[in-house]
């Protein structure tokens, strides 16, 4: 097969678009129009290119595909190495799907400094895709951290009234976690002599070192996921970020943590993973129950969706650490589903926010009378978030619960309460916004979805139902890679057991 550098192309095409937007000059109108068009065109082209991955992906192997390798730091044995397997390929697609949607969603709601805004989004797409396709730890880290710069600017420049606080909190929390991971990466480098991810996966790290490494990785990924108690940056960041910023944050950035656990903690540090699993379960259960209750008490729509994200991510971490096929596939499916659904929910909030400039649940009520199409769209996504059968949310939650039930019934029981609590706060939110009498004057003239907004929601809607009704193509992609992952962990555990027994 001819090796065409498709991954590099997908990664750097948005950056080239950003470079092009940077050179656009002229009066404000022209610049704005050009920036929007170029950004949309670039991100759509990237999306279409990423279909190449989908269609040419070989679901029968767990090996990394579309691999690329180039010299980077020759003396140090660190190279520019890219590739995707079943786990990362779908995240690449999720990213390339959400970026054009974000550009489209910001078409009118962003009126200031459009050029810089579009550049920030395109740069971010580069970083995110690069992160998911990196097969070298240093390359991974560069992309993982590089995301901070555009996101910091997006929250800080185009955010709400308290944006400065939120932007700093986001940046410093994430940075503090990540720098420890950097040290862990360096420590692994000296054990394995390389930062190549496939090589590191084969390396057996000494058990005591594993514990430290695991904790360092945990510091970084737990902040990103985010897990209780380091989740507090998330509601702030979500509330203050512009709609599209929240979409990317919830849709893609939160997946960095779960992906990191799957890619590093599990296969590379299996003994430590087993040791710390109870910690993860405990934190996840607290996240699921506590943040669901917090979500119930929210008066701000975006905050509510943000807390629901934390709760859903609790399911993901439980699923990942079950170390069962169902659990891990469920966790990945849940991340993908959450990427689509929470992104859509933030867009849903954005639709009414653009019209009334209020996120308070109080200010709404009875929207179904003026906005039937909106009410219907909202309902589908709301039910998907709750996990109604037939939507994407159900598959993920169900698989995670099946997985955890095999491992620990108590954890399963407590996790399952999250399903109920999720239904409570989402349905309550929906009732307060959509149903009831339309009494408020500010809502009397509100308009239903515009064609542009329908174009934004349509792909997400289709995806939510498709992934809910016919999950097979997605699970097919995952299956071999997840099996391979579990096998890696088990082999490592067995090897460690053998060593212990031999002593």
Partner 1 sequence: MPIAEVPNLIPALPEIFMVTVAMALLMLGVFQREGDGAATVQTARWISYLGAITLMLALLLLLTVAGGRLVGFSGLFVSDSFAVFFKTLVLIGAAMAIVLSPAYLEHQGIARFEYVVLILFATTGMMVMISANDLISLYLGLEIQSLSLYVIAAFQRDDIRSAEAGLKYFVLGALASGMLLYGSSLVYGFAGTTNFDALAAVFHAGEGNAPALGVIVGIVFILAGMAFKVSAAPFHMWTPDVYEGAPTPFTAFFSVAPKIAALALLVRIMIGPFGELVDQWRQIVMFLSIASMVLGAFAAINQRNIKRMMAYSSIGHVGYALIGLAVGTEAGVQGIMVYMAIYLFMNLGAFACILGMRRGERMLENIGDLAGLSRTHPMLALAMAIFMFSMAGIPPLAGFFGKFYIFLAAIEAELYALAVIGVLASVVAAFYYLRIVKIMYFDQPAEPLNRPIGREIAAVLLASSLIIVFFFAYPAPILAAAAAASATLF
Among 41, 179, 286, 293, binds partner 1 (CB under 8 A): 179
175 near partner 1, judged by CB under 8 A: yes
| Cβ proximity to partner 1, 115 vs 312, nearer residue | 115
Among 9, 67, 77, 113, binds partner 1 (CB under 8 A): 113
Among 14, 53, 87, 163, binds partner 1 (CB under 8 A): 163
What is the C-alpha to C-alpha distance for residues 289 and 293, in angstroms, rounded to an integer? Answer: 6
- Identify which range of 27-35, 171-179, 340-348, 484-492 contacts partner 1 by CB under 8 A: 171-179
Pair 256, 206: CB distance under 8 Å: no
Give the contact letters, 336-365, x = binds to partner 1 (CB under 8 A), - = no.
Answer: ------------------------------
- Residue 44 CB burial class (10 angstroms; 0-12, 13-18, ≥19): middle
| Cβ proximity to partner 1, 120 vs 304, nearer residue | 120
State the nearest-atom distance from the C-beta of 156 to partner 1, in Å. 5
- Spatial CA neighbour of 264 closest among 230, 300, 214, 317: 214
State the nearest-atom distance from the C-beta of 53 to partner 1, in Å. 23
455 near partner 1, judged by CB under 8 A: no
Among 24, 41, 49, 187, binds partner 1 (CB under 8 A): 187
| Cβ proximity to partner 1, 238 vs 312, nearer residue | 238
> Does the CA dihedral 189-194-197-199 come out positive or negative?
negative
167 near partner 1, judged by CB under 8 A: yes
**Residue count of the chain:** 503
Q: Pairing between strand 65-73 and 78-84?
A: antiparallel
| Cβ proximity to partner 1, 68 vs 145, nearer residue | 145
- Spatial CA neighbour of 185 closest among 167, 172, 203, 159: 203
Among 132, 189, 307, 394, binds partner 1 (CB under 8 A): 189
Among 76, 373, 376, 458, binds partner 1 (CB under 8 A): 76
Element (H, E) at 239: helix 233-240
74 near partner 1, judged by CB under 8 A: yes
- Residue 370 CB burial class (10 angstroms; 0-12, 13-18, ≥19): middle
State the nearest-atom distance from the C-beta of 217 to partner 1, in Å. 14
Pair 189, 195: CB distance under 8 Å: yes
State the nearest-atom distance from the C-beta of 121 to partner 1, in Å. 16
Residues in CB range of 393: below 8 A, 6 or more apart: 334, 337, 338, 341, 383, 384, 385, 386, 387, 468
257 near partner 1, judged by CB under 8 A: no
Residues in CB range of 502: below 8 A, 6 or more apart: none
Among 68, 85, 116, 136, binds partner 1 (CB under 8 A): 116
State the nearest-atom distance from the C-beta of 182 to partner 1, in Å. 7
User: What is the 3-state secondary structure of 286-329?
Assistant: HHHHHHHHHHHCCCEHHHHHHHHHHHHHHHHHHHHHHCCHHHHH
Task: Tell me how many degrees the CA angle 459-461-467 measures, rounded to the nearest 5.
Answer: 95
Among 29, 55, 75, 437, binds partner 1 (CB under 8 A): 75
The long-range contacts involving 208-213, CB below 8 angstroms and separated by at least 24 positions, are 210/269, 210/271, 210/272, 211/272, 211/275, 211/276, 212/184, 212/187, 213/184, 213/187, 213/188, 213/268, 213/269, 213/272
User: Count of H helices and E strands in the chain?
Assistant: 21, 2
| Cβ proximity to partner 1, 76 vs 376, nearer residue | 76
State the nearest-atom distance from the C-beta of 378 to partner 1, in Å. 32
- Identify which range of 1-9, 65-73, 351-359, 403-411 contacts partner 1 by CB under 8 A: 65-73
Contacts of partner 1 in 119-148 (CB under 8 A): 138, 141-143, 145-146, 148
Residue with tokens 């420049």: 157
218 near partner 1, judged by CB under 8 A: no
| Cβ proximity to partner 1, 85 vs 116, nearer residue | 116
Collapse the DSSP code of 387 into the 3-class scheme (helix H, G, I; strand E, B; otherwise coil) and give the result.
coil
Among 153, 230, 306, 401, binds partner 1 (CB under 8 A): 153
- Identify which range of 49-57, 68-76, 267-275, 309-317 contacts partner 1 by CB under 8 A: 68-76
- Identify which range of 167-175, 265-273, 281-289, 319-327 contacts partner 1 by CB under 8 A: 167-175
| H helix runs in 323-408, sequence order | 325-356, 372-386, 392-407
- Spatial CA neighbour of 247 closest among 158, 169, 116: 158
73 near partner 1, judged by CB under 8 A: yes
| Cβ proximity to partner 1, 127 vs 392, nearer residue | 127
Radius of gyration of the chain (CA): 22
- Identify which range of 166-174, 272-280, 293-301, 437-445 contacts partner 1 by CB under 8 A: 166-174
- Identify which range of 151-159, 258-266, 270-278, 336-344 contacts partner 1 by CB under 8 A: 151-159
| Cβ proximity to partner 1, 113 vs 204, nearer residue | 113
* Residues of the shown chain interacting with partner 1 in the complex, contacts defined by CB under 8 A: 71-76, 113, 116, 138, 141-143, 145-146, 148-149, 152-153, 156-157, 163-164, 167-168, 171-172, 175-176, 179-180, 182-183, 186-187, 189-190
């Amino acid at each position: 097969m001819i090796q065409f550098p498709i991954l590099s192309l997908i990664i750097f095409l948005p950056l080239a678009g950003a470079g092009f937007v940077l050179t656009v000059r002229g009066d404000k109108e022209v610049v704005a129009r050009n920036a929007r068009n170029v950004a949309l065109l670039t991100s759509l082209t990237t999306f279409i290119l990423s279909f190449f991955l989908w269609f040419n992906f070989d679901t029968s192997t767990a090996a990394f595909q579309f691999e690329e390798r180039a010299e980077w730091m020759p003396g140090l044995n660190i190279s520019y190495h890219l590739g995707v397997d079943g786990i990362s390929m779908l995240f690449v697609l999720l990213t390339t799907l959400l970026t054009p949607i974000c550009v489209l969603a910001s078409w009118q709601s962003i009126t200031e400094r459009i050029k810089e805004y579009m550049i920030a989004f395109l740069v971010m797409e580069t970083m995110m895709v690069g992160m998911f396709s990196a097969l070298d730890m240093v390359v991974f880290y560069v992309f993982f951290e590089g995301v901070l710069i555009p996101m910091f600017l997006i929250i800080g420049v185009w955010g709400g009234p308290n944006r400065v606080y939120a932007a700093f909190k986001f940046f410093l929390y994430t940075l503090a976690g990540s720098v420890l991971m950097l040290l862990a990466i360096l420590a692994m480098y000296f054990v394995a002599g390389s930062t190549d991810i496939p090589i590191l996966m084969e390396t057996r790290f000494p058990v005591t070192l594993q514990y430290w490494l695991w904790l360092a990785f945990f510091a970084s990924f737990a902040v990103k996921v985010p897990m209780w108690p380091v989740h507090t940056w998330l509601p702030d960041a979500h509330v203050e970020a512009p709609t599209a910023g929240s979409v990317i944050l919830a849709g893609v950035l939160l997946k960095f943590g779960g992906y990191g656990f799957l890619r590093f903690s599990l296969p590379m540090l299996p003994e430590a993973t087993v040791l710390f699993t109870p910690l993860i379960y405990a934190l996840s259960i607290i996240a699921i129950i506590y943040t669901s209750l917090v979500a119930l008490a929210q008066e701000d729509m975006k905050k509510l969706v943000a807390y629901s994200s934390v709760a859903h991510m609790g399911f993901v971490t439980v699923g990942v650490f079950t170390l069962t096929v169902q659990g891990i596939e469920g966790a990945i499916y849940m991340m993908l589903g959450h990427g689509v659904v929470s992104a859509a929910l933030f867009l849903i909030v954005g639709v009414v926010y653009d019209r009334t400039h209020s996120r308070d649940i109080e200010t709404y009520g009875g929207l179904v009378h003026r906005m039937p199409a909106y009410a219907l769209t909202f309902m589908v996504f709301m039910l998907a978030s709750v996990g109604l059968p037939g939507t994407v949310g159900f598959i993920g939650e169900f698989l995670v619960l099946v997985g955890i039930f095999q491992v620990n019934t108590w954890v399963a029981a407590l996790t399952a309460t999250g399903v109920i609590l999720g239904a409570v706060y989402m349905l309550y939110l929906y009732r307060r916004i959509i149903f009831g009498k339309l009494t408020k004057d500010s809502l009397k003239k509100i308009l239903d979805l515009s064609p542009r907004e329908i174009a934004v929601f349509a792909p997400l809607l289709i995806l939510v139902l498709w992934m809910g009704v016919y999950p097979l193509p997605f699970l097919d992609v995952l299956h071999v890679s997840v099996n391979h992952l579990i096998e890696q962990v088990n082999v490592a555990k067995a090897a460690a057991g053998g060593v212990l027994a031999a002593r």
